[in-house]
């Protein structure tokens, strides 16, 4: 069985602060995929990133960066110089494959990030 734990429930920061959102996962699959999605107040889930289990390189995209560590089963997400528009619920998710029968996503409970001006 797959499981995603997002221990933080709510985080509040002041604009321009850096913030890290934690994600810990459990799976028995040797090949798996990790995701982060953003859910703004409008409700739509917006895809941010996907990493596969064979690629532990950290990734940076603008103000966003991700740290994948298989040794600790973690896939953490850092927002640098946070902005008010970053306020949203952030979900970490896990799947066994990108397509096919094992492609369903298992989500964590989400972290509500509030960025104050």
Partner 1 sequence: GAGVSQTPSNKVTEKGKYVELRCDPISGHTALYWYRQSLGQGPEFLIYFQGTGAADDSGLPNDRFFAVRPEGSVSTLKIQRTERGDSAVYLCASSRQGNQPQHFGDGTRLSIL
Q: Interface with partner 1 by CB under 8 A: which residues?
A: 4, 35, 37, 42-47, 50, 91, 93, 98-101, 103-110
Q: For residue 70, give the 3-state DSSP assignment.
A: helix
Q: Within 1-98, where are the H helices?
A: none
Closer CB to partner 1, residue 16 or residue 50? 50
**Least spacing, CB of residue 105 vs partner 1, in Å:** 7
Closer CB to partner 1, residue 8 or residue 80? 8
Closer CB to partner 1, residue 46 or residue 81? 46
Nearest-angstrom CA–CA distance, 67 and 45: 21
Q: Which residues pair with 106 in a beta bridge?
A: 94
Smallest Cα–Cα separation from 58: which of 68, 70, 50? 68
Q: How many residues does the chain have?
A: 117
**Least spacing, CB of residue 78 vs partner 1, in Å:** 20
**Least spacing, CB of residue 43 vs partner 1, in Å:** 6
């Amino acid at each position: 069985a797959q499981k995603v734990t997002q221990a933080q429930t709510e985080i509040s920061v002041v604009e321009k602060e850096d913030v890290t959102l934690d994600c810990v996962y459990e799976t028995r699959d040797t090949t798996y995929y990790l995701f982060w999605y953003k859910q703004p107040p409008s409700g739509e889930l917006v895809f941010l990133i996907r990493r596969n289990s064979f690629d532990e390189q950290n990734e940076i995209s603008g103000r966003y960066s991700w740290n994948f560590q298989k040794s600790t089963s973690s896939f953490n997400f850092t927002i640098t110089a946070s902005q008010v528009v970053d306020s949203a619920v952030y979900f970490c998710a896990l799947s066994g494959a990108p397509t096919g029968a094992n492609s369903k996503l298992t989500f964590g409970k989400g972290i509500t990030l509030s960025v104050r001006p």
